[in-house]
């Protein structure tokens, strides 16, 4: 809507030029201000609501990606495509000028949009960490984080959103977080079972009876542990 209004502005000024059109031009400017303020307010509040975990839903009990994360990422992807990123950057620029006046070292539009989008991405990460902390099952918490961060990374990769934020940023904040969660999942879920497969204790035994007893006890412990994991 703001973009359409901007395109109309030159023609509008020509048609309603002079004293006779002063009132309607003033109304046009007021409409422009309302659009700018409304657009920026919705954008900033969007990030705040995500960060504040105000969706009201508990973390997914199957460790899947929350609907809020899916919605937020898709929203940002649409916002950063060619049709919308320039108008949104202009809205942010206009709001900044109205609030701060002419800056000595103003950001370019791309950096301004990148900063605003980064704030929302960080809010998403805060939301994920908040939900992760609410899991009683530590293993499920790592599955949730792994799934969600990997989803964020893969859904933004090779998109306009990913290009805007940059691959180093996406790797550092989301891919590495997914990989760390995957490692912790393996350690917490399988670590105790993997230790049972250690052959060092068997190598230290000299008699076959002792070896057989240790192997049997390890196998029974492994089977019991594996069954417990399946039931959990």
Residue-level pLDDT at 46: 82
Task: Report which of 54, 99, 82, 90 is spatially closest to residue 161, judged by C-alpha positions.
Answer: 82
Mean pLDDT of 157-185: 93
Q: With 80 as the cut, is the pLDDT of residue 80 above it?
A: yes
* Measured CA distances, 3 to 11, 41, 43, 101, 215 (Å): 14, 17, 16, 22, 73
Hey, which of 52-66, 119-133, 206-220 has the most confident mean pLDDT? 119-133
- Residue 67 — φ and ψ, nearest 5°? -60, -35
The structure tokens listed for 179 are 């990989």
Q: Where are the domains of the chain?
A: 2-196, 197-232
Instruction: Report how far apart, in Å, the C-alpha atoms of 42 and of each of 9, 39, 123, 202 are.
Output: 24, 5, 15, 65
Distance of CA 48 to the CA centre of its chain: 13
Per 3-state DSSP, the chain is made up of helix, strand and coil in percentages (nearest 5) of 80, 0, 20
Total-model pTM: 0.71
Burial 185-217 (b: 16+ CB within 10 A, else e): beeebeeebeebeeeeeeeeeeeeeeeeeeeee
Instruction: Output 172 or 29, whichever has higher pLDDT.
Output: 172
Count of C-beta atoms within a 10 Å radius of residue 168: 8
pLDDT of residue 211: 46
pLDDT given at position 151: 97
Please name the CATH architecture into which domain 2-196 falls. Up-down Bundle (1.20)
Q: What sign results for the dihedral spanned by CA atoms 200, 203, 207, 212?
A: positive
What value, to the nearest 5°, has the Cα angle with vertex 140 and ends 197 and 54?
A: 165
Residue range 97-149, pLDDT digits in tens: 767 665 545 567 788 889 889 999 999 999 999 899 989 988 899 999 999 99
């Amino acid at each position: 809507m703001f973009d359409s209004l901007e395109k109309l502005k030159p023609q509008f000024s020509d048609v309603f030029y002079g004293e006779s059109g002063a009132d309607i031009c003033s109304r046009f400017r007021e409409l422009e201000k309302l659009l700018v303020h409304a657009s920026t307010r919705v954008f900033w509040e969007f990030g705040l609501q995500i960060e504040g975990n105000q969706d009201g839903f508990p973390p997914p009990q199957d460790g899947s990606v929350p609907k809020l994360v899916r919605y937020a990422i898709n929203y940002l992807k649409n916002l950063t495509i060619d049709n919308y990123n320039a108008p949104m950057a202009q809205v942010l620029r206009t709001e900044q000028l109205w609030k701060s006046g002419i800056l000595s070292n103003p950001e370019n539009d791309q950096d301004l949009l990148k900063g605003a989008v980064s704030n929302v991405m960080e809010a998403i990460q805060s939301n994920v960490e908040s939900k992760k902390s609410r899991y009683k099952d530590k293993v499920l918490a790592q599955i949730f984080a792994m799934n969600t961060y990997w989803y964020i990374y893969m859904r933004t990769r090779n998109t306009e959103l990913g290009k805007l934020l940059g691959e180093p940023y996406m790797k550092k904040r989301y891919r590495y977080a997914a990989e760390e969660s995957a490692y912790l999942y393996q350690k917490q879920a399988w670590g105790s079972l993997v230790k049972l497969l250690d052959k060092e204790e068997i190598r230290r035994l000299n008699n076959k009876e002792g070896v057989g007893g240790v192997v049997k006890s390890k196998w029974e412990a492994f089977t019991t542990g594996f069954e417990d994991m399946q039931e959990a």
